[in-house]
């Protein structure tokens, strides 16, 4: 960020009054106007950044981008990138490298430019052509689930953001995250896929797990809305417990209690009525045994018997 110093008021009292230095916010180009790119442009504009340009090959995306960001619209990523200090490449993950290479080949990057992508799993290597052109690079990823535009804009503030960057770009990226209302933390380049796999488990696979639960409840005769109303208070209470007590201390249920008879019944009925879910139940159960042992709610003897049941080593 460029620095400008403004002499403020104390000159009447102190002839050589202090200089208050303010950091000028970079002008920004958004390349790719999906939900995240559009929302980020909107929030950064609200934080005082100039959105110099937005680029997307979809007319509908451009129209939406102008409405939310105020940036000049272009179908040409190179043209958009040339008009800004910082370029945010917010295309789908598989297009980040090619978008970056296209801009680099056209001379859109150079010393003084900053280039960012917002992929969770992608590393700095996706921006290698920008770095080779003299630009500084970083990745910034919001740890949040986005369904619709309004939801994205409202949920980004308060969310955690992973940052992968080097040198002074680390501080710059922190300021960007703070301008978005986010909470920054650092992830090494090599750990990004590992970090993102966990994020997918926390969000995407949670949806899948809830869908499996809904499927069982519908199988016993409930309608979709009725099923959701039935199990959602349990889920909400569990999430509230996790938020307040942490994951390990929130564990309840038959494995935590060592209720072997109940576990045996679960295995039997799942084998009969939902055999595909039986594999998941067994694997998740084995991880749950480990937590119960750490919590000291399960004896070693009971843990061994439950593990044997879950692995299918004993009669069920």
CA distance 16 to 56: 50
Contacts for 197 with CB less than 8 Å, ≥ 6 apart: 121
CA distance 302 to 307: 9
* % pLDDT > 90, the chain: 86
The overall pTM is greater than 0.85: yes
Q: What is the pLDDT of residue 88?
A: 98
Q: Is the pLDDT of residue 14 over 70?
A: no
Q: Kindly state the average pLDDT of the residues 76-99.
A: 96
CA distance 77 to 119: 18
Q: What is the pLDDT of residue 313?
A: 76
Q: Return the structure tokens found at 105.
A: 């080949």
Domain limits, the chain: 3-187, 195-311
Q: Is the pLDDT of residue 25 over 60?
A: yes
CATH of domain 3-187: 3.40.50.720
From start to end of 118-266, where are the E strands? 136-142, 160-165, 183-186
Q: Does domain 195-311 have CATH number 1.10.3470?
A: no
Summarised one tens digit per residue, pLDDT across range 200-221 is 999 999 999 999 999 999 999 9
Q: What is the pLDDT of residue 5?
A: 41
Q: Is the pLDDT of residue 284 over 80?
A: yes
Q: What is the pLDDT of residue 64?
A: 87
Q: What is the pLDDT of residue 150?
A: 81
Contacts for 117 with CB less than 8 Å, ≥ 6 apart: 88, 89, 90, 96, 100, 126, 127, 139
Question: At residue 75, what are phi and psi to the nearest 5 degrees?
Answer: -90, -5
Count of positions (residues) in the chain: 316
Domain 3-187 and domain 195-311, same fold? Reply is no
Q: What is the pLDDT of residue 112?
A: 95
Q: Give the residue, 18 or 131, on which the prediction is more confident.
A: 131
Q: Is the pLDDT of residue 295 over 90?
A: yes
Q: What is the pLDDT of residue 27?
A: 95
Summarised one tens digit per residue, pLDDT across range 38-59 is 999 999 999 999 999 999 999 9
Q: Which element (helix H / strand E) includes 293?
A: helix 275-295
Q: What is the pLDDT of residue 45?
A: 95
CA distance 289 to 298: 8
259, HSE (Cβ side, Cα atoms, 13 Å): 11
Beta bridge mates, 4: 22
Q: What is the pLDDT of residue 80?
A: 96
Summarised one tens digit per residue, pLDDT across range 129-166 is 999 999 999 999 999 998 888 888 999 999 999 999 99
Provide the pairing of β-strand 28-31 with 86-89.
parallel
Q: Kindly state the average pLDDT of the residues 73-98.
A: 96
């Amino acid at each position: 960020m460029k620095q400008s110093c403004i002499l403020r008021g104390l000159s009447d009292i102190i002839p050589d009054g202090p200089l208050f230095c303010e950091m000028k916010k970079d002008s920004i180009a958004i390349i790719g106007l999906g939900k995240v790119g559009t929302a980020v442009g909107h929030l950064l504009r609200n934080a005082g950044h100039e959105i110099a340009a937005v680029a997307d090959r979809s007319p509908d995306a451009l129209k939406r981008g102008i409405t939310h960001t105020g940036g000049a619209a272009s179908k040409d990523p190179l043209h958009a990138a040339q008009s800004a200090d910082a370029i945010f490449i917010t295309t789908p993950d598989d297009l980040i490298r090619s978008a970056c290479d296209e801009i680099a080949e056209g001379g859109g990057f150079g010393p003084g430019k900053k280039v960012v992508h917002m992929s969770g799993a992608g590393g700095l290597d996706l921006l290698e052509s920008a770095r080779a052109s003299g630009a500084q690079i970083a990745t910034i990823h919001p740890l949040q689930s986005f369904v619709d535009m309004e939801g994205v804009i409202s949920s980004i503030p308060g969310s955690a953001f992973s940052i992968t960057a080097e040198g002074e770009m680390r501080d710059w990226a922190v300021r960007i995250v703070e301008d978005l209302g986010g909470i920054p933390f650092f992830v090494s380049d090599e750990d990004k896929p590992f970090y993102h796999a966990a994020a997918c488990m926390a969000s995407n696979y949670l949806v899948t797990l809830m869908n499996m639960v809904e499927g069982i409840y519908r199988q016993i005769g409930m309608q979709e809305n009725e099923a959701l109303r039935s199990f959602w208070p349990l889920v909400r209470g569990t999430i509230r417990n996790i938020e307040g007590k942490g994951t390990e201390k929130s564990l309840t249920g038959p494995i935590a209690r060592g209720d072997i008879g109940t576990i045996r019944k679960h295995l039997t009925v799942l084998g009969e009525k939902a055999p595909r879910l039986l594999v998941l139940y067994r694997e998740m159960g084995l991880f749950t045994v480990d937590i119960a042992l750490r919590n000291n709610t399960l004896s070693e003897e009971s843990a061994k018997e439950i593990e044997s049941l879950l692995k299918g080593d004993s009669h069920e």
